[in-house]
């Protein structure tokens, strides 16, 4: 635990207190768990019905063997005048340590459920939430996380589905989320702010949980969610490793009872912008957290050479460009041990990746609507204060000839395809008339309704992928908890087939976990 500025630490026998006059945080001793957060007249924002070790904690899930311990230093920082606190953790493996797999690293806060009733994770994903009790009195659905609320304390939620996975976000968008106690006087907001996601695994489009019922707010650093074992950190015997996770902050705000509680969300977003501008923070005391003067910058312009689209070089408009550990093309998606630094290019393909921690990286990119993945041929070595200008980089998408037909857009989402309506009895009202309709529960089973006997047949030139291509390649619910494999067909005609000649079928997968696709 580190102290910055004028916080007061009192070290009692069984607890430790950080207090800056605005917020008082109480930690268990020796456990180091956050057991109390006092703010604005509320004695404890955390759920006091929970045991002390089940309110606010760092959580590391690994295949621990008897007698093994993790070397893990969690640090909390409280600044003068900051309504909240920062936390980060340094994880280290030393030479000679045994092999280990780490499946999850996260921070969990469980807030008082009778106060924190409203959750906000983005501008268009906010809602009044059920409680844990509402879930327990509900009807479990296909997996334990999904529950039909049959008897919630708030009758307006009756008949809705609650499922924490419906509130996942892509890492690049998962920067501020939290809860509002909309009916307390005054209303209070509890937010987790993540100014940089350099320490998260899997790059910008890895999805992670944010908040969920139980008035739970998470900061996810690594997990197998949406990627399976490929995203798990697997260390060989003797493999040394060290990484700083965070800092992230818990930011608290409040507003007059006469004002709109949603102003708390607006204020939290403004605070995120301030934190982004202050990144990398200069108040950490560990030398393992690299400060701005020790970080580097890499810039350039990414262009596309694809003579089947245009004879001239094209700008890699809005390309996602990032640095991650050296590896194969696209390896950043499964990379979990190092830092990753991503940015999005402007419309001319210019990019600038700032605040890069010294190290050895590959430079990766992909361009929305352009097939394939880019990797720069050389490694990028960042030294303290490096300023690297790569000038012009040219990406040549993999192709052997003109596109004869294409279904959808290669952009790492399936959002453009046909997304069925959910079962009317299994809806989350948040996603009615919402661009994230695909997050509704049970859509996979709708395939069996649409294609009860025969599988999907798509005719190129006749069908429209927005209406005729089911958004996910699923198996068919054949009743009685049985599922059968499905075989889809794409019908197309080619005139003037070149013989002998090669034709290439390219597949862009938006995600795949525990699946096998045969073509």
Ligand X SMILES: *[C@@H]1O[C@H](CO)[C@@H](O)[C@H](O)[C@H]1NC(C)=O
- Contact set with ligand X (CB under 6 A): 326, 360, 379, 381, 479-480, 495-496, 500-502
Nearer to ligand X, 60 or 323 (CB): 323
Q: Which residues of 437-473 are buried (b: 16+ CB within 10 A; e: fewer)?
A: bbbbbbbbbbbbeeeeeeebebeeeebebeeebbbbe
Nearer to ligand X, 326 or 368 (CB): 326
Distance CA 403, CA 505 (A): 10
Nearer to ligand X, 175 or 334 (CB): 334
Note whether 251 and 193 are within 8 A (CB): yes
Instruction: Please report, in angstroms and rounded to a whole number, the separation of the first and last CA atoms in the chain.
Output: 55
Closest approach, Cβ 498 to ligand X, in A, equals 8
Closest approach, Cβ 429 to ligand X, in A, equals 31
Closest approach, Cβ 352 to ligand X, in A, equals 22
Closest approach, Cβ 462 to ligand X, in A, equals 16
Nearer to ligand X, 228 or 326 (CB): 326
Note whether 181 and 117 are within 8 A (CB): yes
Closest approach, Cβ 407 to ligand X, in A, equals 18
Q: Which residue is nearest to ligand X (CB)?
A: 479
Which residues, 6+ apart, have CB-to-CB distance to 58 below 8 Å?
Answer: 72, 74, 87, 89, 105, 106, 107
**Is residue 19 exposed (0-12), middle (13-18) or buried (19+ Cβ within 10 Å)?**
middle
Nearer to ligand X, 136 or 405 (CB): 405
Closest approach, Cβ 405 to ligand X, in A, equals 11
Nearer to ligand X, 257 or 494 (CB): 494
Closest approach, Cβ 404 to ligand X, in A, equals 9
Nearer to ligand X, 279 or 483 (CB): 483
For 279, 283, 379, 423, the CA distances from 275, given in Å and listed in that order, are 6, 12, 30, 42
Nearer to ligand X, 207 or 362 (CB): 362
Distance CA 355, CA 364 (A): 17
Q: Which residues of 231-255 are buried (b: 16+ CB within 10 A; e: fewer)?
A: bbbebeeeeeeebbbbbbbbbbbbb
> Which residues in 40-172 belong to E strands, given as ranges?
56-62, 71-77, 84-93, 100-110, 118-122, 125-128, 139-140, 147-148, 161-162, 169-170
Closest approach, Cβ 325 to ligand X, in A, equals 8
Distance CA 289, CA 90 (A): 9
**Is residue 194 exposed (0-12), middle (13-18) or buried (19+ Cβ within 10 Å)?**
buried
Distance CA 331, CA 341 (A): 14
Distance CA 52, CA 34 (A): 8
Tokens (6 digits) for 360: 């050895």
Closest approach, Cβ 484 to ligand X, in A, equals 11
Closest approach, Cβ 386 to ligand X, in A, equals 13
Nearer to ligand X, 256 or 379 (CB): 379
Closest approach, Cβ 243 to ligand X, in A, equals 17
Parallel, antiparallel, or unpaired for β 71-77 and 84-93? antiparallel
Distance CA 425, CA 427 (A): 6
Nearer to ligand X, 379 or 459 (CB): 379
Distance CA 189, CA 377 (A): 47
Nearer to ligand X, 81 or 480 (CB): 480
């Amino acid at each position: 635990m580190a102290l910055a500025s004028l916080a007061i630490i009192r070290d009692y026998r069984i607890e430790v207190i950080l207090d800056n006059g605005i917020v008082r945080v109480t930690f268990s001793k020796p456990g180091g768990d956050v057991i109390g957060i006092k703010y604005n007249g509320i004695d404890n924002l955390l759920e006091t019905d929970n045991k002390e070790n089940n309110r606010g904690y760092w959580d590391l899930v690994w295949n621990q063997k008897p007698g093994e311990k993790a070397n893990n230093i969690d640090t909390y920082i409280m600044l003068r005048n900051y309504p909240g606190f920062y936390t980060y953790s340094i994880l280290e493996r030393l030479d000679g340590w045994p092999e280990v797999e780490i499946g999850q690293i996260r921070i969990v806060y469980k807030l008082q459920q009778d106060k924190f009733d409203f959750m906000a994770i983005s501008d268009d994903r906010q809602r009044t939430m059920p409680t844990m009790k509402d879930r327990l009195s509900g009807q479990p659905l296909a997996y334990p996380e999904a529950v039909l609320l049959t008897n919630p304390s708030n009758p307006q939620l009756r008949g809705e589905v609650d499922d924490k996975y419906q509130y996942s976000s892509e890492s690049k968008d998962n920067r501020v989320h939290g809860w509002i106690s909309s009916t307390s006087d005054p209303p209070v907001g509890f937010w987790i702010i993540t100014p940089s996601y350099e320490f998260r695994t899997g790059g910008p489009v890895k999805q992670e949980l944010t908040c969920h019922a139980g008035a739970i707010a998470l900061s996810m650093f690594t997990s197998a969610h949406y990627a399976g074992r490929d995203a798990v950190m697997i260390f060989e015997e003797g493999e040394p490793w060290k990484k700083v996770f965070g800092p992230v902050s818990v930011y608290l705000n409040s507003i007059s009872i006469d004002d709109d509680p949603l102003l708390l969300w607006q204020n939290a977003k403004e605070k995120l912008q301030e934190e982004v501008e202050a990144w990398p923070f200069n108040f950490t005391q560990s030398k393992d957290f690299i400060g701005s003067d020790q970080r580097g910058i890499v810039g350039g312009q990414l262009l596309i050479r694809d003579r089947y689209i245009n004879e001239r070089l094209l700008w890699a408009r809005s390309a996602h460009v990032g640095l991650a550990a050296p590896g194969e093309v696209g390896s950043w998606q499964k990379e979990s041990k190092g830092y990753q630094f991503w940015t999005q290019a402007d419309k001319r393909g210019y990019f600038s990746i700032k605040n890069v921690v010294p190290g050895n990286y590959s430079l990766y990119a992909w361009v929305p609507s352009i097939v394939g993945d880019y990797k720069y041929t050389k490694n990028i070595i960042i030294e303290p204060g490096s300023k690297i200008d790569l000038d012009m980089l040219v990406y040549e998408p993999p192709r052997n000839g003109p596109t004869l037909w294409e279904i959808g857009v290669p952009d790492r989402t399936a959002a453009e395809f046909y997304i069925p309506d959910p079962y009317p009895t299994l809806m989350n009202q948040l996603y009615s008339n919402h661009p994230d309709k695909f997050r509704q529960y049970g859509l996979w089973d709708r395939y069996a309704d649409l294609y009860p006997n025969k599988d999907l047949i798509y005719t190129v030139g006749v069908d429209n992928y927005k209406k005729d291509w089911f958004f996910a390649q699923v198996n068919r619910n054949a009743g009685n908890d049985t599922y059968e494999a499905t075989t889809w067909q794409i019908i197309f005609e080619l005139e003037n087939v070149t013989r002998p000649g090669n034709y290439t079928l390219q597949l862009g997968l938006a995600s795949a976990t525990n699946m096998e696709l045969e073509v």
